[in-house]
């Protein structure tokens, strides 16, 4: 069965990736739902208000139209008025004008409270008016207006209608065609006596459409979109566009329109709603809703991040202690006074660490014992080799019958052997150079003026510790495999330097140098080492056992000729010179 591959993530990432998004989605969902419900309630409230305002305006408007219909019927179809209208051509209409002046004010829709003037246009086009009741001149009715009123009246057959003069947009006229009464309600076939025209006061319609609201306003239009009364701040062009599309967007506001039919033929009431003002309060609501929600969300996110950070910090501290632990000592133990879980974890870790420490100490002691045995074995191996080569050199002096120099050489060899047999494994660099001086004396007795040995090591490095019998075998190697192989004068240089952390001692010669194959073999970790360079391999291994793989010998060839062996080991100083140390001569 194939196992599902998982990718580990930190606690902080888990909280950031899962918990916080869930909180955000939850809060946004709650805010969205509340906002939707609020918008729905505002919309529903707006619809109710529109219905109420439209109903109030329609009721008032219908009442006014009904009143006009009733008043005009009572006034125009009573016998006195009918007789006056039938005989109007005989007295030039003066009798009917007196009737208008005397009787019309007693009818509400024809009185001065509702009208500025009352006119009657005879069937022949003659205009009779109550001019004395109006501040407006009768001349406002042009022959073309009179013809238009009469023509329009034929279309409504005695029903009331509204007429507006184009050059006087603030004037609205309630009109109704009057017929000769025959006792029947039908108007078809009856004789037309004329048209009653009432110049309605602007205050009448203003009162009907007055809502004391900037949100809802009315426009009175007909089916041909002719505007009779406009109580809004919109232009005629804007209203026409609003009627056609039912929506209008200006630079400041957004509008919608709803139309309602009236009892007057071809007349409609247009209710215009300023949607921007309707939803103006939603901005405040959203702010009031979002502000506490954001504060609560910030508090929850902060608490969540604090919890995740505290847990992550405990993990980080635990991991940091683990990463910094390079040795199992008292600093490696973890003591956490935090959550119970981490305290228990640290206790278990400390108990495990104590057991590992006990085991590692045993293993460490065994490793040190093994390493010391190996180092002592290597040192014991090099002593006979070094002694054999040195005695060979002294034997050559005996053959040349150089007894006094041979005696001096034996004393020098004795000093070197005593040094190598001492219990301590290290000497100061000053002590080492003393024994190097003794050893080079023996070599110079053998080769005479054909061998020159130069030593250039700063005295500041004389108190550094280095292992015993490190430089003598390297000088011996430089003599046997270096300077002795050339016909000219051999030169061996011993140089010392430091980079602040490591000590470098270079042994250079002007011999033929190392072969490429030899240097490649030396860099390999092979167990089989050639006997011709046994001392070099032995020293390199000793240094690595002492100081690790980053230290030891570095083999190079000089630029011109000869070989260079660099001893690289840690810089270890002592506070004062070692007593009974030898001194260079």
Domain holding 264: CATH number? 3.40.1840
Note whether residue 55 is domain-resident.
no
Q: To the nearest whole number, what is the mean pLDDT of the chain?
A: 77
pLDDT band with cut points at 50, 70 and 90 for residue 381: very low
Query: Interhelix angle for 429-447 vs 471-480, to 10°?
Result: 20
Whether 178 contacts 194, CB under 8 Å:
yes
Integer Cα distance of 95 and 98 in angstroms: 5
Going by C-alpha positions, the residue among 474, 469, 514 that lies closest to residue 492 is 474
Residues 84 and 192 in one domain: yes
**Checking phi first, is residue 290 left (phi over 0); if not, alpha (psi -120 to 50) or beta?**
alpha
Residues 371 and 467 in one domain: yes
User: Distance of alpha carbon 360 from its chain centroid, rounded?
Assistant: 49
Last residue of a domain, one of 257, 278, 299: 278
**What's the pLDDT at 15?**
65
Note whether residue 584 is domain-resident.
no
**What's the pLDDT at 245?**
86
**What's the pLDDT at 339?**
66
Residues 405 and 519 in one domain: yes
- Greatest mean pLDDT range, 149-153, 209-213, 381-385, 409-413: 149-153
Number of H helices, E strands in the chain: 15, 17
pLDDT band with cut points at 50, 70 and 90 for residue 497: very high
Statement: residue 365 has pLDDT above 60: no
pLDDT band with cut points at 50, 70 and 90 for residue 327: low
Between residues 79 and 381, the one the model is more confident about: 79
DSSP 470-484: SHHHHHHHHHHTTGG
Report the DSSP pairing between strands 552-557 and 563-570. Answer: antiparallel
**What's the pLDDT at 566?**
93
Q: Which two tokens stand for residue 395?
A: 């034997």
Q: Which two tokens stand for residue 129?
A: 């008016």
Note whether residue 576 is domain-resident.
no
Judged by average pLDDT, the poorest of 39-48, 228-237, 449-458, 572-581 is 572-581
Statement: residue 395 has pLDDT above 50: yes
Whether 45 contacts 63, CB under 8 Å:
no
**What's the pLDDT at 576?**
40
Residues 194 and 223 in one domain: no
Note whether residue 227 is domain-resident.
yes
Buried b (16+ CB within 10 A) or exposed e, 184-215: eeebeebebbbbbbbbbbeebbeebbebeeeb
pLDDT band with cut points at 50, 70 and 90 for residue 240: confident
**Checking phi first, is residue 568 left (phi over 0); if not, alpha (psi -120 to 50) or beta?**
beta
Domain membership of residue 226 as a residue range: 211-278
Q: Which two tokens stand for residue 100?
A: 């208008």
- Beta partners for residue 258, in sequence order: 271
Return the H-helix or E-strand segment holding 427.
Answer: strand 426-428
- Greatest mean pLDDT range, 70-79, 142-151, 361-370, 404-413: 70-79
Note whether residue 179 is domain-resident.
yes
Report pLDDT digits (tens) over 108-149: 888 888 888 888 988 888 888 876 444 344 455 778 888 888
Residues 176 and 266 in one domain: no
Integer Cα distance of 535 and 378 in angstroms: 10
Statement: residue 495 has pLDDT above 90: yes
Report pLDDT digits (tens) over 427-469: 888 888 887 887 787 777 777 778 888 899 999 888 888 888 7
Whether 476 contacts 535, CB under 8 Å:
yes
Whether 435 contacts 419, CB under 8 Å:
yes
Between residues 265 and 46, the one the model is more confident about: 46
Q: Measured in Å, how far apart are the chain's first and last C-alpha atoms?
A: 81
Residues 473 and 400 in one domain: yes
Note whether residue 200 is domain-resident.
yes
Last residue of a domain, one of 278, 302, 334: 278
Burial class (CB in 10 A: 0-12, 13-18, 19+), 85: buried
Q: The dihedral of CA 65, 70, 71, 72: what is its sign?
A: positive
Note whether residue 512 is domain-resident.
yes
Q: Which two tokens stand for residue 19?
A: 């918990």
Residues 164 and 121 in one domain: yes
**What's the pLDDT at 528?**
52
Residues 380 and 519 in one domain: yes
Judged by average pLDDT, the poorest of 97-101, 254-258, 529-533 is 529-533
Over range 274-292, report the average pLDDT: 74
**What's the pLDDT at 17?**
67
3-state secondary structure of 165: coil
Statement: residue 105 has pLDDT above 80: yes
pLDDT band with cut points at 50, 70 and 90 for residue 558: confident
Q: The dihedral of CA 353, 354, 359, 360: what is its sign?
A: positive
Between residues 16 and 147, the one the model is more confident about: 147
Report the DSSP pairing between strands 490-498 and 451-456. Answer: parallel
- Beta partners for residue 547, in sequence order: none
Residues 83 and 184 in one domain: yes
Between residues 19 and 144, the one the model is more confident about: 144
- Please report which residue ranges of 448-578 form alpha helices under DSSP H: 471-480, 516-523, 534-547
DSSP 195-214: EEEEEE-HHHHHHHH--S-S
Integer Cα distance of 481 and 479 in angstroms: 6
Report pLDDT digits (tens) over 168-222: 566 788 889 999 888 777 777 788 888 999 988 877 877 887 777 778 888 888 8
- Look-up: residue for tokens 């008292």? 330
**What's the pLDDT at 168?**
57
**What's the pLDDT at 162?**
85
State how many domains the chain has.
3
Over range 4-31, report the average pLDDT: 67
Integer Cα distance of 235 and 237 in angstroms: 5
Q: Which two tokens stand for residue 181?
A: 């009464």
Last residue of a domain, one of 162, 182, 206: 206
Going by C-alpha positions, the residue among 394, 378, 375 that lies closest to residue 535 is 378
Residues 247 and 202 in one domain: no
Buried b (16+ CB within 10 A) or exposed e, 544-568: ebbbeeebbbebeeeeeebbbbbbb
Q: Which two tokens stand for residue 93?
A: 């209409």
Integer Cα distance of 200 and 171 in angstroms: 7
Report the DSSP pairing between strands 267-274 and 216-222. Answer: antiparallel
**What's the pLDDT at 378?**
46
């Amino acid at each position: 069965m194939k196992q599902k591959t998982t990718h580990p993530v930190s606690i902080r990432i888990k909280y950031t990736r899962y918990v916080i998004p869930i909180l955000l989605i939850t809060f946004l969902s709650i805010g969205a739902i509340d906002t939707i419900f609020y918008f729905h309630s505002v919309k529903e409230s707006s619809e109710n208000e529109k219905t109420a305002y439209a109903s109030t305006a329609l009721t008032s408007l219908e009442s006014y139209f009904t009143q006009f219909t009733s008043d005009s019927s009572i006034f125009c179809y009573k016998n006195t008025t009918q007789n006056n209208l039938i005989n109007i051509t005989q007295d030039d209409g003066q009798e009917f004008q007196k009737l208008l002046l005397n009787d019309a004010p007693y009818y509400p829709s024809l009185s001065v409270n509702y009208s500025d003037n009352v006119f009657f246009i005879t069937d022949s086009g003659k205009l009779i008016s109550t001019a004395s009741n109006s501040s407006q001149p009768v001349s406002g009715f042009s022959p073309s207006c009179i013809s238009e009123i009469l023509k329009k009246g034929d279309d409504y057959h005695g029903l009331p209608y509204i007429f507006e003069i184009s050059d006087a947009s603030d004037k609205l006229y309630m009109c109704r065609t009057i017929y000769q009464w025959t006792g029947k309600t039908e108007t078809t076939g009856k004789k037309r006596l004329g048209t009653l025209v009432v110049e309605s006061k602007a205050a009448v319609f203003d009162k009907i459409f007055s809502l004391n609201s900037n949100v809802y306003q009315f426009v009175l239009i007909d089916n041909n979109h002719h505007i009779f009364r406009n109580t809004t701040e919109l232009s005629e062009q804007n209203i026409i566009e609003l009627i056609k599309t039912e929506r209008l967007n200006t630079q400041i506001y957004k509008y919608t329109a709803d139309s309602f039919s009236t009892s007057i033929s071809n007349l409609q009431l247009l209710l215009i709603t300023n949607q921007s003002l309707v939803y103006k309060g939603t901005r405040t609501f959203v702010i009031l809703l979002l502000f506490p929600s954001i504060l609560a969300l910030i508090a929850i996110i902060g608490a969540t991040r604090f919890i995740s950070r505290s847990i992550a910090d405990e993990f980080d501290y635990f991991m940091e202690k683990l990463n910094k632990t390079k040795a199992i000592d008292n600093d490696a133990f973890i003591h956490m006074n935090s959550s119970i879980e981490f305290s228990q974890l640290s206790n278990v870790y400390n108990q495990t660490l104590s057991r590992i420490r006990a085991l590692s100490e045993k293993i460490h002691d065994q490793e040190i014992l093994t390493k010391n045995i190996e180092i002592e074995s290597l040192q014991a191996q090099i002593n006979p080799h070094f002694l054999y080569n040195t005695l060979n050199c002294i034997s050559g002096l005996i053959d040349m019958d150089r007894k006094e120099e041979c005696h001096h050489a034996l004393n020098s060899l004795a000093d070197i052997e005593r040094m190598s047999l001492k219990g301590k494994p290290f000497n100061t660099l000053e002590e080492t150079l003393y024994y190097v001086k003794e050893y080079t004396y023996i070599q110079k007795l053998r080769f005479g003026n054909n061998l020159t040995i130069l030593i250039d090591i700063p005295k500041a490095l004389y108190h550094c510790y280095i292992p015993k019998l490190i430089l003598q075998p390297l000088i011996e190697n430089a003599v046997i495999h270096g300077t002795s192989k050339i016909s000219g004068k051999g030169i061996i240089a011993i140089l010392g330097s430091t980079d602040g952390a490591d000590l470098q001692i270079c042994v250079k010669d002007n011999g033929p140098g190392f072969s490429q194959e030899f240097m490649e073999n030396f860099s390999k970790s092979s167990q089989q080492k050639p006997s011709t360079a046994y001392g070099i391999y032995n020293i390199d291994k000793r240094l690595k056992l002492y100081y690790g793989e980053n230290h030891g010998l570095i083999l190079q060839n000089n630029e011109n000729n000869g070989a260079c062996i660099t001893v690289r080991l840690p810089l270890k100083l002592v506070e004062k010179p070692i007593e009974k140390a030898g001194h260079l001569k």
